Structure 1
Amino acid sequence: MTTIADKPDYSLYSNAFGYLRQPLDFKPLDSDADVVVIGLPFDMATTGRAGGRMGPGAIRQASVNLAWEDVRWPWDFKLSQHLKIVDAGDLVYTCGDSADFTQRVEEFATAVVESGKAMLSLGGDHFMTLPLLRAHYKQHGKMALLHFDAHTDTYSQGSKYDHGTMFFHAPNEGIIDAGRSIQVGIRTEYDQKNHLFKVIDAATANELTVNEIVAQIKERVGDMPLYVTFDIDCLDPAYAPGTGTPVCGGLTSDKAMKIIRGLRGMNIVGMDVVEVTPAYDSAEITALAGATLGLEMLHVWACAHKGA
């Protein structure tokens, strides 16, 4: 008799709960994991279409399509031989309480990072990156930020909990060095005269080669600890329709993945993929893009920290 414990190679979709089919571990601090995946099901700070709280689950489900390859193309090593990953599930917080969410994210992330583990966080709207940055700062000090997005999220106007204000607050709190940070894919209004970040806007990024973009990123960031945040609306809606604030004219998923791969050798200390909104997705292509970008980040992290 075949039981639930049997795991033949062909059972691709059976019991696929964790990201990349990795085990769920609700006590990740007690594990020997190198990287902890956490879902942050929050969308109360969104100014566009709601539904990002369902993003972590959609990314996990789409990730089963990536889990069958021993060696992920075009990488030349097996990730599992260099990196142990656990999925800590979704953060639990008081429903409807943005302050409680913010506090719990920072507390959880602080504990994980101080234990010597890295994090890949799945969102959820982009506001979640602010408490994540606060937690990473406690361990790594001031960081550079590599921010993929259609929007700068540096707007000073807005509520205390707003997915468009994180990168106004983070430099003012001394968490990130805007002078060493860079934003890629921007194609909405911002104050270009007084903007603190270097910007490679989407139109420019679509004209430049991947190597030219990566060279600008590395020149800007140098050897600073680097936090990478990827808002899925950096991609053109043709490649990521399932998001709250889609903007035409974005990057292709291919170009975005190649840029991520080009970060090999950089001192990445934290990673997130945000703003996947599955209610507006088509054929899971947005969720799959988010899952794949996360996997590329893990390969790059393994190269820098595990000698892959």
Structure 2
Amino acid sequence: MKGQFNDLFNKEDYSLYSNAMTFMRRPLVKNPLVEKADVVVFGVPFDMATSGRSGARMGPDAIRRASVNLSWESKKFPWDFKLFEHTQIIDAGDLVFDCGDAKDLALRLEAAADQILKSGKMLLGLGGDHFITLPLLRAYKKHYGEMALIHFDAHTDTYNNGSRYDHGTMFYHAPKEGLIDPASSVQIGIRTEYKQQGHGFNVINAMQANDLSADQIVSQIKEIVGNKPVYLTFDIDCLDPAFAPGTGTPVCGGISSDKALKIIRALKGINLVGMDVVEVSPAYDHSEITALAAATIALELLYVWTANKIA
């Protein structure tokens, strides 16, 4: 028995629930720029741009904790390959910024994302409210030029009557900054008011999305985005509150988690260059179902990216 527990306090080892929770129990690194990896998971605990219920700053931690429920599967059903045999993923923890300063957040997030992309890695962002997508897009523009946007949401986020830092104005500013091309972009699950005339973006609203099959939706998406580099952002309130109650601005009539996953899986083949999952607000969640949905969506996106890489 002597010597059996020599590594009892080796913090490099862990079981599913021990030590700091990372996304899918991937290695936690301090400096992602010097680590060998394909993908960096990066949390952004920010919700100062929220117009509804606050709390999304706790979203990255909730998503990571929920992802533990997924990490025991060597390959995620129904995929036919093991993700971590083809893609090396690290968790860089959360962005450090002055939590009372939205401008500081925007500048630091853009700079951090730019450095990660310069190091040759892809980035999976975990929010945080949806404003974080705007500085992320600014960083991606430097590397990929004008992109197509695939945007899952209950809201278009194209409103021009918010403040400079508002989670409903990102896609009003992004086209004006040349970050995304609305004509090559699509918004799925929309079910709140927006100015339809001159909107610019292609919209598959929630009523349409619920009536169409996942394959029909994906056929439209692929026709719209074509071969352009694609940034995919998933606001968890795209899902009906029955599947995702833990969010700041819930809206009834959304799509199911099953349909969302079917759509994402069928996006294999698009030129996916960046992604984020946002607006999880765990204070309003029940039994972690919102956080689990977000973690599952993030994992499926990584499978799509990897499937493209090994195709």
Taking structure 2 as the reference length, the TM-score comes to 0.96
| 1:261 maps to 2:265 | yes
Match of 2:191 in 1: 187
1:7 to partner: Cα distance: 8.8
Which residue among 4, 9, 16 is the counterpart of 1:4? 9
1:304 to partner: Cα distance: 1.4
Give the Cα separation in 2 of the matches to 1:286 and 1:151: 18
Q: Provide the aligned length of Structure 1 versus Structure 2.
A: 306
Give the Cα separation in 2 of the matches to 1:127 and 1:7: 35
1:107-129 Cα offsets, whole Å, 9 max, x none, are 00001112211000000000000
After superposing the two structures, state which structure 1 stretch, 14-23 or 47-56, moved more: 14-23
- Letter aligned with residue 176 of structure 1: I
Structure 2, unmatched stretches of 5+, are none
Match of 2:293 in 1: 289
Within 5 Å, give how 1:240-251 maps onto structure 2: 240-251=244-255
- Letter aligned with residue 165 of structure 2: Y
SS in 2 for 1:229: strand
- 8 Å contact kept, 1:243–1:280: yes
Which residue among 78, 87, 92 is the counterpart of 1:88? 92
- Letter aligned with residue 244 of structure 2: A
Match of 1:128 in 2: 132
- 8 Å contact kept, 1:16–1:61: no
Within 5 Å, give how 1:155-170 maps onto structure 2: 155-170=159-174
Within 5 Å, give how 1:92-241 maps onto structure 2: 92-241=96-245
Give the Cα separation in 2 of the matches to 1:16 and 1:68: 17
1:15 to partner: Cα distance: 2.3
- 8 Å contact kept, 2:246–2:282: yes
- Letter aligned with residue 9 of structure 2: I
Alpha carbon RMSD of aligned pairs, Å? 1.3
Give the Cα separation in 2 of the matches to 1:231 and 1:8: 34
1:40 to partner: Cα distance: 0.1
Give the Cα separation in 1 of the matches to 2:80 and 2:135: 35
Which residue among 271, 274, 283 is the counterpart of 1:279? 283
1:90 to partner: Cα distance: 0.5
Structure 1, unmatched stretches of 5+, are none
1:200-234 Cα offsets, whole Å, 9 max, x none, are 00010000000000000000000000000000000
| 1:48 maps to 2:39 | no
Taking structure 1 as the reference length, the TM-score comes to 0.97
Which residue among 36, 39, 44 is the counterpart of 2:43? 39
- 8 Å contact kept, 2:129–2:278: yes
Which residue among 70, 74, 93 is the counterpart of 2:74? 70
